[in-house]
Amino acid sequence: MKTLRALLILWLIIITVGCYSMGSVPPYVDYDYNVSIDFSSINSYNWHQLSERVDYDQLVVARVKKAVDTRLQGKGIKFSPDDPDFLITMYGGTRKEYTTEWKTWDAELWYEEGRIKLAFFDARSNDLIWWAETRANVHFEMTPEEKDKIVEDAVTRILDKFPPNPPE
């Protein structure tokens, strides 16, 4: 009986570990900014041409732009194609990553990791004033609604860091 109980517990542990999902993404955001900029005077933006280092399909790019527009306008920063205070460039895409975490007997140790990076440039000098990036794993088998949610979450995490809090 003890052997059967031990085997049952071992089996439950194996099943639990095997069901671990790579779908969860740590909510960290890396960011940096120019500390000499007065971000309180920044009120308008425009999109700069996309970087050649954007490896997402057009639908993901549209999702990111829509989420950024919504979040910035919610912060009182207006879209201005004629005379913006700063320009936004998006970088991102997917890359192969390797994990040593055991998931299932036939699981691949290589997986795709997606990243979204936004960089803000002064519209007059073209100097970088702020950037942030986070992970956002959008997979082809997801529904459009699932992709919307992941992109919105990633953009929200990024723009929670903008404008930066002034140094004390």
Residue length of the chain: 168
Q: In the prediction, which pLDDT does 114 show? A: 79
Does the pTM surpass 0.75? The reply is: no
Q: What SS3 state is found at 26?
A: coil
Note the pLDDT of residue 18. Answer: 43
- Per-residue pLDDT of the chain (168 residues), as tens digits, is 666 555 445 444 444 444 444 445 567 899 999 999 999 999 999 998 766 655 667 888 889 999 999 999 999 999 999 999 999 998 877 655 656 665 565 555 555 567 889 999 999 999 999 999 998 877 767 788 998 999 999 999 999 999 997 655
End-to-end CA separation in angstroms for the chain: 65
What are the sequence ranges of the domains in the chain? Answer: 29-159
Question: Is 29-159 a CATH 3.30.160.670 domain?
Answer: yes
Query: What is the distance between the alpha carbons of residues 52 and 167, in angstroms, rounded to a whole number?
Result: 34
pLDDT reported for residue 166: 64
* Bond preceding residue 163 cis, omega within 30 of 0: yes
What integer pLDDT is reported at residue 97 of this predicted model? 60
